[in-house]
Amino acid sequence: MVQGCEKLHANQLTASRAPEVSYQSSPTLAGNVLADFRFSSNPSPQEDARVFEVALATLAGDAHEIWTVEGEVVSGHEGDLRWSRGGGWLFCALEADERIQGGPEGAARHAYATLARFLRQQPECHVQRLWNYLGGINRGEGDDERYKHFCHGRAEGMGDWLASGFPAATAIGHHAGEHLLQVYLLAGSSPGRRVENPRQVSAWEYPRQYGRTSPSFSRATLLCTGDALAISGTASVIGHATAHEGLVLAQLDETLRNLDALLASGSMPAGFDGHSPLKVYVRHRDHAALIHDSLAKRLPGVPLLLLHGDICRADLLLEIDGWRYGQSSTAVPTVVEQYSPQV
């Protein structure tokens, strides 16, 4: 995924290993921590640029997500943007206020234009993974749904920044106030490899019914080091349609099938293990225990973090994203259950 880095950097550090991602209860902010995500329904600004409070309440699991890298990390602020770098990796994040930027479209446009300007000038300019959290994601009808406005503003803000290959991404609705948009990313010094799910239509090829601007993300990214798959928000979607509307366990089963397909397509070992942290976004709090217990039985030993958040479609009850680590691989993706559109 070549992303138009405009500046050549002498002595550029190339990452040799993917960041280690783990869930912890009371972590120490050591010198090799690239980012510390703290989940709260009432987020507050943090002085340390590496610490970012995400506007989602924790339903189960340890409330810190920690990224560590090889070597020392340096960090700082540039206007509203916070960043840290180390080991050939870059984390950066920002918050945009819709009341200042002109609604969800304007906030997304501002956030992505700001990130694009910053990233183009960095040695770690190749985006591997993006996260987006916005309030009231399903509010509004048809093209006036807030998520669809966000998608349009995001596309306008990024311009041609990611036009040669969208990275993996997540977009979830928080409950901390509609005005707040949070965006953060992981970038590296080399391009990653886009991975698609053969069971699904690629998001940027969705038909018009999903909005005037299609979502701009791939289903996963094989990181530039080849040893980890960063998995996008994955839900109960076959082709481009929601499956099992209203049935939470059936949606969970379909989501797991999609995750298995992504592992195969990304040349990763089958299944998940104790080194494969997964975040589970749950629309309804009263589904959390059922989802957690089912996942604990289906994926024993897998680190799980359940968060209270709305999914980008009103008929989806849950979504899962996360990481799968494996051996460095340049293998051609495996072909699995191919989706064939109905005529």
pTM: 0.92
Q: What does the pLDDT look like over 63-93, one tens digit per residue?
A: 899 999 999 999 999 999 999 999 999 999 9
Q: Which fold has domain 20-325?
A: 60s Ribosomal Protein L30; Chain: A; (3.30.1330)
At 327, the pLDDT band (50, 70, 90 cuts) reads low
Q: What's the number of CA atoms in the CB half-sphere (13 Å) around residue 124?
A: 22
pLDDT(6) > 70: no
Question: Domain segments of the chain: what residues?
Answer: 20-325
**pLDDT over 70, % of the chain:** 91
The per-residue pLDDT for 4 is: 52
pLDDT(338) > 80: no
The per-residue pLDDT for 5 is: 63
Say how far apart CA 211 and CA 219 lie, in whole Å.
Answer: 19
The per-residue pLDDT for 16 is: 87
The per-residue pLDDT for 334 is: 33
Residue-by-residue DSSP string for 57-113: EEEES-SEEEEE-SS--EEEEETTEEEEEETTEEEEEEEEEHHHHTHHHHHHHHHHH
The per-residue pLDDT for 160 is: 87
227 burial via Cβ count (<10 Å: 0-12, 13-18, 19+):
middle
The per-residue pLDDT for 135 is: 97
Active site amino acids: 319
Q: Return the minimum-mean-pLDDT range out of 6-15, 35-44, 110-119, 216-225.
A: 6-15
The per-residue pLDDT for 323 is: 98
The per-residue pLDDT for 164 is: 66
Helices 288-298 and 248-265: crossing angle in degrees, nearest 10, is 40
89-97 and 126-135 strand pairing: unpaired
State mean pLDDT over 276-283. 98
Q: Which two tokens stand for residue 19?
A: 């960041």
Report which DSSP code applies to 209. G
Residue 302 to residues 107, 216, 222, 290, 330, Cα–Cα distance (Å): 35, 29, 20, 16, 26
Q: Which amino acid is at 164?
A: S
The per-residue pLDDT for 343 is: 23
Q: What does the pLDDT look like over 11-67, one tens digit per residue?
A: 457 888 999 999 999 888 999 999 999 999 988 889 999 999 999 999 998 889 999
Q: CA nearest 269: which of 209, 215, 314, 331?
A: 331
Of the two residues 334 and 205, the one the predictor is more confident about is 205
Backbone angles phi, psi at 248, to 5 degrees: -65, -45
Say how far apart CA 109 and CA 181 lie, in whole Å.
Answer: 11
Q: Cα torsion at 171, 65, 83, 118 (round to 10°)?
A: -20
Residue 201 to residues 39, 72, 112, 314, 321, Cα–Cα distance (Å): 31, 41, 24, 19, 18
